[in-house]
Amino acid sequence: MAKFCLVTFGCKLNQADSALIRRVVAKFHKEASEKEADFVILNTCGVVEKTELKIIKKAKELKRKRKKIVLAGCLPLISPEVAKNIADGMVGPTNILDLPKVIKGVLRGKKTISLKTRFLDKARLGCVALNKESCVAIIPISEGCLSSCAYCVTRLARKKLRSFKKEAILENIKSAISMGAKEIQLTSQDLAIYGLDKGKMELGDLLKEIAKIQGSFKVRLGMMNPQYAKRIFNQILKILKDDKFYKFLHLPFQSGSNNILKAMGRGYKREDILRLVKGFRRNFKRGLLATDVIVGFPGESERDFKETLSLVKKIKPDILHIFKFSKRKGSLCDHLKDFPDRIKKERSKILTRVWKEIAKEQSRKYLGKTLKVLIVEKRGNSFLARPDSYKAVILKEGKVGEWQRVKIIKTKPNYLVGKALKN
């Protein structure tokens, strides 16, 4: 029996895929440390060039150690030539069940590839990511998306939307809870479009069914493209009021300029973002808003960038993911002239400074407050906990899976420090 090691890059979807990869491969091979492994599976992401370069560096390091490499995930489909040069075997996101065959070929010294796109109902297969140090389960609800964002190459790997069966998703959640999960993270490329491949937006119906599941747990909704979220937003706000759901919203707006949003092919305007955020803030005074921004998209003028800055100042996001535009071959905008990196870096720095001041102000509102938190993960000598808003709270002591009353004694831009109170 050969030994394997699994290394995961990228998003929550990849983490969920890794749970399935581990299960499929562990039937035939033993998991071990990287040093002991006969072959290493790199579950890859190719959204930005920086991540691709990181994967290439890791692969070269493994090659020097004479390890066989199997590339899984998006990179083999996004950058096939690069992937061929560093891999002994490859599978795409929908070919995970072919891994035993691919690995068999690799161990025999034959380059083996399985990249033909097919439908793989990962919910039915029980694609649940849950590790020993946490009580968080990542549950995928669909694969692919319906958007046509000019900068995106993930569509090359995960293709069009394929929603998983509602019954299988619900069973997955129940199974995760029976295994000790207390936090359920629903994930997909775009949560809002769940069911649209079958002709109807069914996210609301799915969330209502999840709320009926027995047990003490919390649900965190994944990213939703405003293009589709605006169509079911009132329904989402109503569902978020249920005690089982964190008052958390991940709504990536990408740019505050309508000109750039149109060039990106995002399907909404600045005014839509302002309306959605206003509705969320009105309903949840302590709700947590997360968003994403791309700086330096081709054609982004100083005025366009200032409109992004002003939008950030208006909506005051608690979490802001800033990405410098990364030109990717195969994207709809790969022919456009890119900005010099220095301009993208400068805009990123300006945006980061603005957001940090906002985040400091948002966090300070919690100082001295008493919160009920769920301890979800052990991190070294400390614990990560989440209140109803999903704001990160760091504790010195606790037990994963338990609820605790804490007093906030210190604040940072992106997390709080709490002290446990005696019940």
- Percent of the chain whose predicted confidence (pLDDT) is above 90: 89
Q: What is the mean pLDDT of residues 98-114?
A: 96
- Rounded to 5 degrees, what angle do the CA atoms 82, 86, 67 make? 165
Residues in the chain: 423
pLDDT band at 218 (very low <50, low <70, confident <90, very high): very high
pLDDT at 33 over 80: yes
Q: Widest CA span of the chain, in angstroms?
A: 62
Q: Which domains does the chain have, with CATH numbers?
A: 3-114 (3.40.50.12160), 136-364 (3.80.30.20), 370-420 (2.40.50.140)
How many angstroms from the chain centroid is the CA of residue 418?
A: 26
Question: Beta strands 162-163 and 142-143: pairing type?
Answer: antiparallel
Mean residue pLDDT across the chain: 94
**Contact (Cβ atoms closer than 8 angstroms) between residue 184 and residue 206:** no
Average pLDDT over residues 211-217: 95
pLDDT of 288-297, one tens digit each?
999 999 999 9
Token pair recorded at residue 162: 């394929």
Percent of the chain clearing pLDDT 70 (strictly above): 98
HEC readout, 389-411: CCCCEEECCCCCCCEEEEEEEEE
- Position 129 scores a pLDDT of 62
92: how many CB neighbours lie within 10 A of its CB?
26
- The answer to whether the CB of 273 falls within 8 A of the CB of 227 is no
Residue owning tokens 């990560």? 384
The model's confidence at residue 118, banded by pLDDT at 50, 70 and 90, is confident
The residue behind tokens 């072919």 is 98
Interval 245-267: pLDDT, tens: 999 999 999 999 999 999 999 99
- Indicate if the pLDDT at residue 128 is higher than 70: no
8 Å CB contact between 232 and 203: yes
Q: How far apart are CA 285 and CA 250, in angstroms?
A: 16
In this prediction, residue 126 has a pLDDT band, given cuts at 50, 70 and 90, of: low
